[in-house]
Structure formats: structure tokens, C-alpha cells
Structure 1
Amino acid sequence: MPLLLALSSLLEDLIIVRDERTVLNPHGVMHALSLYVGHFNLTRQQDASEAFLHLLISLRDEFAHCYVPHRSSLADITLSDSKVYKQREGNLPECKRWKQNLFGPFDGTVGSILSCRNCSSVLSLDFENFHCLPLSPVLNANGDITSGCSLVDCLKYFTVVEHLDNYRCDRCWHIIAAKYLSLRSEVDEEKVSKLQSCVDYGTCSCRDMFPLESLPCSSSSRATKQLIISQCPKILCIHFLRASVGLDGEPIKHQGHISFPLLLNLSPFTGGASSAGPLAMNAQRDGQQALHLYRQLNMQANADVSSSSSSPPQLSRSKLYGLAAVVEHYGKCGGGHYAVYRRVASNPDPDDPGKPVAGLGKRWFYISDGYVSEVPEEDVLRAEATLLFYERL
């Protein structure tokens, strides 16, 4: 497991507290990553979001090679006579099924819901895993990022309800066909009953009951499609899609600040009961209330969640996230430089490195290659972010 060992070694070196300046080189991790990603070249620049995804996927592949079945819960499921499971999974090897269901700290799930507005039925429900949530900035008529655009706006845009007209809903067709037959002078009770009791919409033979001529009334429906975050990851990575293609076919980068909060609540974007309104708390928009709550939650991170009284009752702690890191890109598409803002714990006690100094809260540092400096929160919130990392509280 060369990649896992190289990454573990680098992380161990990073957490050692030293009294003198030390240079740490991630060459070992990058070389191990090139074993899994053929086009990963150490001599050329890499996109930060692509490198991050390559790292997670390569770790998953490396870990999967060492998988040994031990009659896990997934193995027990494969032995059951579940008709639904057999149809969905087919005859895939157990290791491949296990790999598909393996969730790491960065893994979440996005659900796509297609619903009929006429009969209120769910037409389809699909799920797709993600390591990094891609969000498009809100652009104005000129193709530039709108003034005052925020992460909350991008999440709203990502989960906005799309309206589809003239959609063919099979359940609506059954309802219309049954009504049509029941209003005829000679009612065929058997056909009406079959239409009303049918549940295999789209795969049934109900349409064969009618001659070639269509029904006298329209069976087209209005449908809605919406994306929701159905499974929230432990560590939420957000990628702002700033790269685009201009009218001349050349790649361009959408410059401009997208504001982001210190404390983020994902509840409005998960399809839950609280998703009716924009409840995400933004320190820049909501003022000191969100910032105060953010700091309270940080101070009580080790307390029992069930007994915590600092968070409002309408907020679910499983969907509350605190900002942990911000990656900023300087330059244009195809070139430039990456730097990062990182939130760290308090300064360690020199006599006991594992014990933080009392009275000091979280601190932010700006890292650009070998340059490291402590910065205030205001500098972090002014960053022109490309990647955001949030940790679940």
C-alpha cells in the first residue's frame, strides 16, 4: 500500500511540533499517486480539485486490493433472497459491491428527485456519490459572478426546483384512461379495475387495451426535478466551478469573491422538513449571531451533543459544519499558484505539546509554499476561494 504509507508518513511529519524551521516535501505521496494515475506528472502543474479527487479515488482503489471478506453485513445482504437487491446489484463480485458501498469521511450522496405535479407521484429517485461537491457560481447577464454572491446562493442554485412541461407521466395516463373508460356508455369494469390497480407504470401492458387512436384528452403532465444532499459527509469539500469556456473557445476563469460562512447549516439543502427556507447561517450576512454560535459550538465540540443547549432547537448538529480550510487560486486557467488558509487548534503548551494553552481559541494560518503566517478571520473570509473544507461539528 505505497500511497497509504507515504500519506501516513507525511501526516505524521506534519503533526510534529519543532523548535526550528523544517522543510517537508510531499514528493513521496506524489510519486505513489503517479502509480495509480497514469497522466499525473510531477513536472507539471496540477489542478488542486483534480489532485484531491485522484488522491481519494487512488486510496480507495489501493484499499480495495487488500479487501478480505469476513461475512460483513454487505456479504449477509448478498446471501439473502431480496428481489430488489438482486435486480439492482446483479452478479457483481462481492469486492466490487463492497467497494461501491464503502464510505469515507469525504463521501456524500446527492439525490435526484423527479416528481409529477399533477398526481404528486415520484417518477424517479436516483442517487450519486460525491467526494467533492461541485457548485457553479451565480452569474449575471455578462457572464460574471454576481455582486454579493455567496455559498448559500450557490447551494440554492444547485438545489433549485426545475419545472418540466409536457412531461409524460405514466400514472397520470392510467388515471386519465380509467376516467375515460368509466365515462363511456358501455363501461368495461374489468379494464377500469386493471387501470386503477396497476402499479407497474411504464412496464405494464395497459396501453394494449386501447386501439391505435389516442385518448380524446391530453395525458401530458407537469413535472419537477430537484437535487438534494441526501447523505452529508463527515468532511464537506466544496469546489467552486470557476473555469469556463469563452466565446472564442478559450478557457477563462470567473474572477470575483464568493462569500462563505464560518458556520454552515446544510439542513435547507437536504430535503428535510426545514428545507423550506434559507436557514444556512452566514457570519457576513447574519452578523454576530452566527459568529457567536460558531464560536460556542467550537468551545463545546467535546461536549455531549444531546445535552448541548448552545444551538437552536431547529438546527440539527449532524448537518452543522465549521469552516476548516480555504484553498485560493491566483492566476488564470492553466497556470497560477495555490495557497491555503487553515484553521488550527490553540498553541500547544511547550511542556505538554498535547495540551492546548488555556484561554486561546482557534487560530488561522496562511500557507503559500514555504511562507506561513497567522492571519485574522477577516482575511480568511475575504479569500477568493476555489475549494472550501468544512468539518461536521
Structure 2
Amino acid sequence: SLQSCFHQFTSMELLMGKNKLLCENCTENKRRHLKETGSAEKKAEGVYTNARKQLLISAVPAILILHLKRFHQAGLSLRKVNRHVDFPLVLDLAPFCSATCKNVSVGDKVLYGLYGVVEHSGSMRGGHYTAYVKVRTPSRKLLQHITGKTYVPDLKEPDSESTGQWVHVSDTYVQVVPESRALSAQAYLLFYERIL
């Protein structure tokens, strides 16, 4: 699932052995100590230490585009990964944000609504891209923000963020499809917009 991908991507990583971190402060302290003691060593070698590393989101965007890695190394070649990855209609990024994340207070939800999916059919050597797009009535607030106009005639505010119809778009057709079909796509790119 997309959530398990985020959990794996943001999990704490221990840097040990060949992956130890070069400690600049430790190296500087060693250099100073060698200089003070008049050691014959002119240059201190870098001091490496065990460390922990964790990747977290430091600022949340208005639009979130996620690219799913759809290939893996198989010997000297790449192979396409056709496994389905579950992805939600509403994604909460709060568990993956740093404590100092900009525009997010502790305890806040950081919700995103899905509005597009790009899917690839075929192999690594060739294929075809199609898209699932959620078509909605334009939001008065969004249009006002974009155009600067405070009044747009004949524009009604949608009942909720979830209203809309999914369509499947290819080179030769645009077809209305149920939401379940969009959610069952072999996602290559996912498009989310911030809703809270």
C-alpha cells in the first residue's frame, strides 16, 4: 500500500559499519587535540561514528505528486513491477511530517485528496500511458484565488471536496468510469491536492 511505502521510506535507519557517518565535530576535535599535543600527525583522518537517519517531510505542498518506482534490477537488466499498490482517496501525511514541519501544528491532520492517476500498460521496452482524472465543478474559492475575481456568474460551490466523476483518458477516448476502476489502476504517478 502507499501508506506502507511511506512508512518504509520514513523509518529510522541505523548507519553502521561501512555506512558510518563522517563526524565533522569529532574530526575537528581530534585535529585540535593532535595540534595541542604536538603530535607528528599533520592531518587528522576523519572520524566516523554510528548514526541514525530518518527522512521526513519538512514542508507540505499544496499539490503532491508521487512517482511509484515500477522497475527493479534483475541481473544486468531492468524488469517492470506489475504488482498493484493500494492508494487511498484521502491521504494523511501528518505521520510522515517532521516535528518542525512548516504550516503544520502538532496534532494537525495533513489531508490530501486524490484527483489523478497515471497508469502504464506494456513492458519496459514499450507501452502506453493512460490517465484517470477526477472531473469536478470548479471551486469558487479556487477560481477566485486564480483569477482574482470575487464574483463568477453561474458558478456554484460544490457540496464537498469528494464530489466529482472519474474519467479514463487515452489517446483515442475519454470514458466515464466508476471510482473503483481508478483505485484499481496500476499507478505510476499519483496526483493529490491538499484539502486540510
User: Fold-level match, TM-score > 0.5?
Assistant: yes
Q: In the alignment, which of 153, 159, 172 is matched to residue 10 of structure 2? A: 159
Q: Which amino acid aligns with 1:361?
A: T
- Residue 250 of structure 1, CA deviation: 2.5
Q: In the alignment, which of 365, 375, 386 is matched to residue 167 of structure 2? A: 365
Q: If each structure's helix is expressed as a fraction of its own residues, which one has the higher value?
A: 1
Q: Which blocks of at least 5 consecutive residues in structure 2 are unaligned?
A: 42-46, 139-152
Measure, in 2, the Cα distance between the counterparts of 1:230 and 1:202.
Answer: 31
Other-structure match for 2:115: 324
Change in 2 beyond 3 A, CA 1:246/1:202: farther
Other-structure match for 1:315: 108
Other-structure match for 2:72: 244
Alignment check: 8 A CA contact 1:242 1:386 kept: yes
- Residue 165 of structure 1, CA deviation: 2.3
Measure, in 2, the Cα distance between the counterparts of 1:386 and 1:353.
Answer: 37
Q: In the alignment, which of 49, 56, 75 is matched to residue 228 of structure 1? A: 56
Measure, in 1, the Cα distance between the counterparts of 2:50 and 2:14.
Answer: 7
**Matched residue count:** 167
Helix, strand or coil at the partner of 2:6: helix
Helix, strand or coil at the partner of 1:205: helix
Q: In the alignment, which of 330, 340, 355 is matched to residue 131 of structure 2? A: 340
Measure, in 2, the Cα distance between the counterparts of 1:230 and 1:358.
Answer: 32
1:381 aligns with 2:183: yes
Measure, in 1, the Cα distance between the counterparts of 2:30 and 2:93.
Answer: 37
For the aligned residue pairs, the C-alpha RMSD in angstroms reads: 3.2
Q: If each structure's strand is expressed as a fraction of its own residues, which one has the higher value?
A: 2
Identity rate of aligned residues, in percent?
37
Measure, in 2, the Cα distance between the counterparts of 1:203 and 1:244.
Answer: 43
Change in 2 beyond 3 A, CA 1:254/1:375: same
Q: 1:179-194 residue pairs with structure 2 within 5 A? A: none
Q: In the alignment, which of 78, 81, 94 is matched to residue 267 of structure 1? A: 94
| Structure showing greater Rg | 1
Alignment check: 8 A CA contact 1:240 1:386 kept: yes
Change in 2 beyond 3 A, CA 1:392/1:203: farther
Once the two structures are overlaid, the 10-residue window that deviates more, 323-332 or 352-361, is 352-361
Q: Which amino acid aligns with 2:2?
A: L
Alignment check: 8 A CA contact 1:346 1:363 kept: no
TM-score normalised to structure 2 length: 0.71
TM-score normalised to structure 1 length: 0.38
- Residue 273 of structure 1, CA deviation: 7.8
